[in-house]
Amino acid sequence: MTDPVYRTILLFDIEQYGSRDDVEQAYLRRILYDVVDGTLAAAAVDETARMRADRGDSVMELIDTRVSVSTLVKSLLTEAPAQLHSKNRLLATGAQMRLRIVLSSGYVAVDDLGGWVGSDLNHAVRLLNSDPLREALKQRGEDSVLCVSEAVYQGVVRHGPLGVRAEDFRPVPVETKEGPTVAWVHGLPDPDLQKPAEPADPSALTEASEPSDSSGPAVPGAQAAPGAPAGQGGPLINGGQYGIAGGDNRGDLTFNFGERGNGGRA
């Protein structure tokens, strides 16, 4: 077995793969390969910087750490959905494919049989198969859902690299065989926005329903404008009617700006 090496771990899994017949499964696998390859090409991941393992209904990629994780996240949020949509739009609704995607990281070794070994890899697979991520895909109208591990979120996503909005990821508790952990799922609604509005205070409603005097504060020396309804037209001060903005609507307005005896010109 090789020594464990640190890698970025990328997993894709097809929803309800086992419910398809053999012909559909073979076709979906070809689509899956196209989506994965297109997504990684958009993130500038060279063939020599990745290693693939096929698990039938899923694909696992080990990616060299020299590849930018923030670029990978951006490509998973943009290119992967675009690639998937371009494939699904040509298929009948019942034949379309939906994906759960996990981006994680950790140490992985390759054994003598070519298998991948490592607790960090096991952790990523637990996230991929978790009930919260399955439920998140069911709730979404899109064809895919992305989850990142706690390490990827804290190390990259939460800093908001270009093209990635950290606030669009929500923490979700996940129970695994190794104990509880946290998954950061993209696109979940804010739970605070889902809370029902608190009932209004009856006393506050009573106070708000009481009529108020709309005539405004009293102005010394002011009287209501002739013929104007109460609270409208503004008060009269020295024969001039003043509104909210303090304007005077008398017809004989004269403005003298520094009169110098030249007909009112400054």
Kindly report the CA angle at 62 between 156 and 14, in degrees rounded to 5? 90
Confirm if 134 and 144 have CB atoms less than 8 A apart.
Answer: no
* Domain ranges across the chain: 5-190, 218-255
Confirm if 61 and 145 have CB atoms less than 8 A apart.
Answer: no
The whole-number pLDDT of residue 203 equals 60
Cβ-in-10-Å burial (0-12, 13-18, 19+) of 39 comes to buried
Over residues 218-255, the pLDDT tens digits come to 545 545 545 555 544 444 444 554 444 444 444 444 44
The whole-number pLDDT of residue 177 equals 84
What angle do the packed helices 69-88 and 22-42 form, to 10 degrees?
A: 140
Confirm if 156 and 70 have CB atoms less than 8 A apart.
Answer: yes
Over residues 167-226, the pLDDT tens digits come to 999 999 999 888 899 999 999 886 654 455 555 555 655 555 555 554 555 545 545 545
**What fold does the segment set 5-190 form as a domain?**
Alpha-Beta Plaits (3.30.70)
The whole-number pLDDT of residue 189 equals 80
- Helix ranges restricted to H, 156-225: 202-209
Q: How far apart are CA 143 and CA 2, in angstroms?
A: 37
Confirm if 266 and 258 have CB atoms less than 8 A apart.
Answer: yes
Residue 115 has pLDDT above 50, yes or no: yes
